[in-house]
Amino acid sequence: MTHLTIRKEVRDRFWSKPPEVTSILLAAEDEDKLFAKYFREYENRLKYCNDIQVQIVEPDMAQKFRVWIGNVNNYANNGGDMY
């Protein structure tokens, strides 16, 4: 079982209050499924939301995700925009 910690930061519309920060723990059978789950549920789904930011907390997992998402097949097969 592979785990990944995400930091999710939600701000109000006018950025007048401090952000609401939560940590989310994702788990999956292997890294491929874990990164696919993260991309579908957080990275891709929230990319046009200006008031919500998500990021991977662990630097080594963040680097592995960058390599994984750099493969166009992983990006396209998990709902990435392919214009």
Q: Is the pTM of this model over 0.75?
A: yes
The domain ranges of the chain are: 2-77
Chain centre distance of CA 26: 10
Please choose, from the candidates 17, 79, 27, 20, the residue with its C-alpha nearest in 3D space to the C-alpha of residue 54. 20
Dihedral of CA 50/7/35/65: which sign? Answer: positive
Question: Residue 52: enclosing H or E segment and its boundaries?
Answer: strand 52-56
How confident is the prediction along the chain (83 residues), in pLDDT tens digits per residue? 899 999 999 988 777 788 899 999 999 999 999 999 999 888 887 777 778 889 999 999 999 999 999 998 898 888 887 66
**One-letter-per-residue 3-state SS of 58-71:** CHHHHHHHHHHHHC
Task: List 7's β-bridge partners, or say none.
Answer: 23, 55
